């Protein structure tokens, strides 16, 4: 794996109740669309973004600054897609 296969981005959790089941399910669903591994780090802990259990244990509160990291062939795409969830406040767009 080359250095270009790693992508990181700092994101802020703007969901009023912190990282709870609704945003977690959106993160897991979106991350599962990519082949790369994706982690989210907060307060010295790291979680696999494809694992509901791991994300629940992260216990990130409202306003938390988290580090999103992806490793693999589609790392840039995964980080962009997941960062958009954070930027949009995990609101589901109406179609």
Query: With bands split at pLDDT 50, 70 and 90, how would you rate the model's confidence at 4?
Result: low
- Find the mean pLDDT for residues 63-73: 97
In a domain, 92, yes or no: no
Residue whose entry in the numeric block shows the structure tokens 């599962």? 32
pLDDT of 91 reads 83
| H-helix segments, 1-95 | 21-31, 52-58, 75-87
CATH code of the domain covering residue 63: 3.30.1340.10
Q: Is the pLDDT of residue 3 over 80?
A: no
Q: Is the pLDDT of residue 25 over 70?
A: yes
Residue 40 is inside which H or E element, if any? strand 37-42
To the query of whether residue 20 is one of the catalytic residues in this protein, the response is: yes
Q: Of the candidates 80, 3, 4, 2, which has an alpha carbon nearest to the alpha carbon of residue 38? A: 80
For residue 38, tell me if it sits in a domain: yes
Q: Which residue among the candidates 5, 6, 20, 64 is catalytic per the annotation?
A: 20
Which domain, by its residues, includes 63? 3-87
Q: State pTM to two decimals.
A: 0.90
What total number of domains does the chain contain?
1
- Calculate mean pLDDT across residues 13-41: 96
Dist. CA 84–CA 95, nearest whole Å = 17
Instruction: For residue 26, give the 3-state DSSP assignment.
Output: helix
């Amino acid at each position: 794996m080359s250095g270009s296969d790693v992508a990181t981005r700092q994101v802020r959790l703007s969901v009023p109740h912190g990282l709870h089941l609704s945003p977690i399910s959106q993160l897991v669903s979106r991350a599962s669309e990519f082949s790369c591994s994706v982690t989210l780090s907060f307060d010295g802990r790291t979680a696999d973004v494809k694992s509901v259990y791991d994300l629940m244990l992260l216990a990130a509160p409202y306003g938390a600054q988290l580090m999103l990291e992806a490793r693999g062939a589609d790392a840039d795409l995964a980080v962009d897609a997941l960062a958009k969830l954070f930027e949009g406040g995990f609101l589901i767009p109406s179609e």
